[in-house]
Amino acid sequence: MKVVIFAGGLGTRISEETDTRPKPMVEIGGKPILWHIMKIYSHYGFNDFIICLGYKGYVIKEYFMHYFLHNSDITIDVANNKMEILGSNTEAFKVTLVETGANTKTAGRLKQVQKYIGDEDFMLTYGDGVSDIKIDKLLEFHKSHGKTATVTAVQLDARFGGMDLAEDGEVVSFREKVKDESKSINAGFFVLKPEVFKYLDGNVADMMWEDEPLEKLTLDHQLVAYRHKGFWKCMDALRDKLELEELWQNNKAKWKLW
């Protein structure tokens, strides 16, 4: 089964890191977050990736073009212009890199890679979110309901703590940042049937996958949510990048399944 990853956005909310590279190439623990996402899927045996390129896509191309060399022991005979590969520590990734346009929105990016997917179910996620999601359980759930699309849902993290107050202003209880159990958000990690492309008819270059296509799937009762109650984190802003880096450096990176 193929895995499609959106990796073409501008990353404007983390511009401190994205002036010279696309957001999926921002590093956590010395590796692009894109690599971390691919390692999650690879842990479950899924190594066939289709990357939707856009903003500074050449950076991602160059990364994978030199990936084997950068992860190998080599001997270079400068005098004779020869190189010998002594050993390699590379993953089993097969990566298809598709130029989907610098300004194309997510629905348009997905439609452009249809020809590389074929007539089989596939997975889709964003190039900036990591999780300890059990991909095997996600797929099992997707197959069980028979609908066109499965989206992974997580509970929304509160940005601020909360307090319960008595009438006189006394604090009855104080809660640090907690999950809002009344709200779920789109965490990516989709599983989709090829029939999903019927919802991407016509010119969808300026359409967000998260808008009309998912709304139509919902109205047609073809979208089901897989509830993930474990770790999930989106690198939306610099503070998120710093939090992920701290988790990695302190050996608390729950998404590190490998």
**What was the pLDDT predicted at 175?**
55
Q: Is the dihedral of CA 159, 164, 169, 170 positive or negative?
A: negative
CA distances from 128 to 9, 235, 238 (A): 10, 5, 12
Can you tell me the distance from the alpha carbon of 13 to that of 134, in angstroms, rounded to the nearest whole number? 29
**What was the pLDDT predicted at 20?**
85
Q: What is the DSSP letter of 85?
A: E
Q: What pTM did the predictor assign? A: 0.89
As to burial, measured by CB atoms within 10 angstroms (0-12 exposed, 13-18 middle, 19+ buried), residue 111 is buried
Helix (H, G, I), strand (E, B) or coil at 191: strand
Architecture in CATH for domain 3-155+183-249: Alpha-Beta Complex (3.90)
Can you tell me the distance from the alpha carbon of 114 to that of 118, in angstroms, rounded to the nearest whole number? 7
Q: Is the dihedral of CA 243, 249, 251, 255 positive or negative?
A: positive
DSSP 222-237: -EEEEE--S-EEE--S
Length of the chain: 258
**What was the pLDDT predicted at 166?**
54
Q: What is the DSSP letter of 195?
A: G
Asked if residue 255 lies in contact with residue 130, where contact means CB atoms within 8 angstroms, the answer is: yes
Helix (H, G, I), strand (E, B) or coil at 115: helix
Per-residue pLDDT of the chain (258 residues; tens, 9 = 90+): 999 999 998 877 787 788 889 999 999 999 999 999 999 999 999 999 999 999 999 999 999 999 998 889 999 999 999 999 998 888 999 999 999 999 999 999 999 999 999 999 999 999 999 999 999 999 999 999 999 999 999 987 765 455 555 565 554 455 555 566 657 889 999 999 999 999 999 999 999 999 999 999 999 999 999 999 999 999 999 999 999 999 999 999 999 999
Cα dihedral 13, 37, 159, 173 in deg (nearest 10)? -170
H helices present in the chain, as ranges: 15-18, 33-43, 57-65, 67-70, 106-112, 114-117, 135-145, 212-219, 238-249
**What was the pLDDT predicted at 19?**
83
**What was the pLDDT predicted at 89?**
84
**What was the pLDDT predicted at 168?**
56
- Closest Cα partner for 97 from 37, 53, 36? 53
**What was the pLDDT predicted at 152?**
94
- Closest Cα partner for 158 from 170, 174, 169? 174
